[in-house]
């Protein structure tokens, strides 16, 4: 059964039953990630899971508490103890992604009136775009990408609890649940600290928005953020994490570098052109004309988004949400990797809303459905194909070497995977390539020496 709204130009026919829509989301995630269950541990998985005794039993997990990301590590421990191997890890990741897709739909339904969205198709289509975009594979098919999808689960729950509180008999209880979900999100990954800003954004598109009202309704979340700051100063593991970040590069250099980082995420990852686990991006230390132009464009887009929050809230919200969700990973605090696809996991919700809402407004019913169906099928197929790169370490690093041929670390990792496969001649060639690209890479030289004739 199809329902066609009669208000405005939004004439998207969609399955009328919310239950059918939810079932559709679960089905497309299952299909797109059907080939994701057989992959082995990859890259960081060895350090944070396979080679990390802290997650190999509940006793060791408890021994290393307090520590960073306790909830995330608890899920790793549960998977490790289950005995289902990597398939169990992958299955949990796919289930998390499916739940997150459902939550994205619910959030947009809750925000629809504030965003000026009258078509019931928009929440479903935006959730489909979120679920099927190939950039999400790094947070789903890559096992240790769970840090992002698990954090996203509780962050999205927190937003939903906040948005629906006023519709409940006891709003304070739902706001309390929102705060608890925020704490759980932080326990999965500290990057959830941007949540209070996201909640203020949700309030900013409300008719009659007032700063005082918005801050009062999110006071509990801001209190948790203050508490997190205290915890960072008290827990040695957080100190080490912060110290490692600050040792990577200066804060000023990182801001310059992240202009390229965000540019890469927009033009390569978000566009669907490239899925690359290890992009080759330079560290910037001085301004250049090209960098200044890119920075000015990004600021102009953000400024336009803020300006449009009143006149075209669906567009302004989508733009600002995108930048807010990138704040923890792509602004001040340095990271070893300048940009990764998984940084788009939550940020992608903003562009998904924009695309779905624009299609419902600017295309006729028939053509909008055809266009969006084609886009979703293309994204789903691309995701399915990308999952095949995770089928083995060698396949993943061969793919990465095609996209980052000038990065020494990529060739060293490819060499190591080839060595483990017994392809020693190819491994030696890869190690030599890594050394040629980065003569200071002692790991590649050690690896080459180990298998040298």
Pair 358, 117: CB distance under 8 Å: no
Question: Between the CA of residue 432 and those of 97, 311, 393, 396, 402, what are the distances in Å?
Answer: 39, 57, 19, 19, 17
Give the number of other CB atoms < 10 A from CB of residue 330: 25
Q: Report the Cα–Cα distance between both ends of the chain, in Å, rounded.
A: 69
Which pLDDT belongs to residue 9?
43
What are the structure tokens assigned to 97, written together? 């992604």
Supply the DSSP symbol for 169: S
Q: Which residues pair with 2 in a beta bridge?
A: 15
Pair 390, 39: CB distance under 8 Å: yes
Closest CA to 349 of 194, 190, 123: 123
The C-alpha atoms of residue 27 and residue 451 are separated, in whole angstroms, by 47
The C-alpha atoms of residue 187 and residue 226 are separated, in whole angstroms, by 15
Which pLDDT belongs to residue 8?
40
**DSSP helix/strand/coil, 273:** coil
The C-alpha atoms of residue 294 and residue 448 are separated, in whole angstroms, by 40
Which pLDDT belongs to residue 452?
77
What are the structure tokens assigned to 306, written together? 């803020």
Supply the DSSP symbol for 270: I
Give the number of other CB atoms < 10 A from CB of residue 404: 20
**Cα-to-chain-centroid distance, residue 255:** 20
Q: Which residues contact 74 (CB under 8 A, 6 or more apart)?
A: 61
The C-alpha atoms of residue 102 and residue 131 are separated, in whole angstroms, by 9
Residue ranges per domain, the chain? 2-236+347-391, 407-451
Helix pair 365-389, 18-32: axis angle to 10 deg? 30
Which pLDDT belongs to residue 1?
32
pLDDT tens sequence for the chain (453 residues): 333 333 344 445 666 688 999 999 999 999 999 999 999 999 999 999 999 999 999 999 999 888 889 999 999 999 999 999 999 999 999 999 999 999 999 999 999 999 999 888 899 999 999 999 999 999 999 999 999 999 999 999 999 999 998 888 888 899 999 999 999 999 999 999 999 999 999 999 998 889 998 899 999 999 999 988 887 777 777 767 777 776 777 888 888 999 999 999 999 999 988 899 999 998 898 999 999 999 999 999 999 999 999 999 999 999 999 999 999 998 877 888 899 999 999 999 999 999 999 988 877 666 667 778 888 999 999 999 999 999 999 999 999 999 999 999 999 999 999 999 999 999 999 999 999 999 988 899 999 998 876
Question: Which residue in this structure is represented by tokens 């925000």?
Answer: 111
- String of b and e for 136-158 (b: at least 16 CB within 10 Å)? bbbbbbbbbbbbbbbbbbbbbbb
Which pLDDT belongs to residue 16?
65
Which pLDDT belongs to residue 12?
55
The C-alpha atoms of residue 366 and residue 370 are separated, in whole angstroms, by 6
The C-alpha atoms of residue 248 and residue 245 are separated, in whole angstroms, by 5
Which pLDDT belongs to residue 6?
36
Which pLDDT belongs to residue 244?
73
* Predicted structure pTM score: 0.92
**φ/ψ (deg, to 5) at 15:** -55, 130
51-60 contacts, C-beta under 8 A, 24 or more apart: 52/76, 55/80, 56/80, 57/81
**φ/ψ (deg, to 5) at 382:** -65, -40
């Amino acid at each position: 059964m199809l329902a066609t709204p009669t208000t405005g130009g939004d004439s998207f026919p969609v399955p009328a039953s919310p239950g059918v829509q939810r079932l559709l989301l679960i089905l497309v995630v299952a299909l797109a990630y059907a080939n994701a269950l057989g992959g082995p541990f990859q890259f960081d998985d060895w350090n944070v899971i396979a080679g990390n005794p802290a997650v190999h039993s509940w006793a060791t997990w408890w021994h290393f508490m307090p520590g960073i990301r306790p909830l995330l590590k608890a899920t790793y421990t549960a998977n490790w103890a289950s005995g289902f191997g990597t398939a169990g890890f992958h299955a949990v990741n796919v289930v998390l992604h499916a739940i997150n897709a459902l939550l994205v739909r619910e959030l947009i339904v809750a925000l629809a009136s504030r965003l000026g969205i009258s078509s019931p198709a928009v929440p479903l289509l935006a959730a489909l775009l979120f679920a099927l975009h190939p950039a999400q594979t790094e947070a789903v098919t890559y096992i240790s990408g769970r840090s992002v999808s698990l954090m996203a689960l509780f962050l999205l729950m927190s937003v939903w609890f906040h948005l629906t509180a006023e519709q409940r008999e006891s709003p304070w209880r739902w706001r309390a649940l929102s705060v608890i979900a925020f704490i759980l999100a932080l326990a999965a990954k500290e990057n959830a600290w941007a949540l209070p800003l996201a909640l203020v954004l949700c309030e900013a598109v409300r008719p009659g928005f007032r700063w005082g009202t918005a801050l009062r309704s999110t006071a509990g979340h801001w209190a948790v953020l203050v508490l997190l700051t205290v915890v960072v100063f008290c827990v040695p593991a957080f100190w080490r994490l912060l110290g490692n970040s600050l040792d990577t590069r200066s804060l000023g250099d990182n801001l310059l570098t992240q202009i390229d980082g965000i540019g890469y995420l927009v033009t390569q990852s978000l566009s669907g052109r490239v899925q690359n686990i290890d992009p080759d991006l330079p560290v910037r230390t001085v301004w250049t004309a090209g960098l200044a132009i890119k920075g000015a464009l990004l600021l102009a887009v953000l400024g336009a988004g803020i300006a449009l929050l009143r006149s075209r809230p669906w567009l302004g919200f989508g733009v600002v949400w995108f930048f807010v969700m990138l704040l923890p990973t792509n602004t001040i605090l340095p990271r070893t990797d300048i940009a990764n696809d998984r940084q788009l996991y939550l940020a992608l919700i903003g562009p998904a809303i924009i695309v779905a809402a624009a299609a419902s407004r600017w295309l006729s019913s028939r053509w909008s459905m055809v266009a969006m169906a084609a886009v979703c099928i293309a994204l789903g197929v691309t995701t399915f194909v990308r999952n095949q790169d995770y089928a083995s370490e060698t396949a993943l690093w061969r793919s990465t070497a095609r996209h980052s041929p000038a990065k020494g670390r990529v060739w060293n990792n490819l060499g190591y995977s080839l060595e483990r496969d017994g392809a020693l001649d190819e491994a030696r060639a890869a190690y030599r390539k890594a050394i040629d690209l980065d003569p200071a890479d002692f790991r590649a030289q050690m690896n080459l020496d180990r298998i040298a004739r």
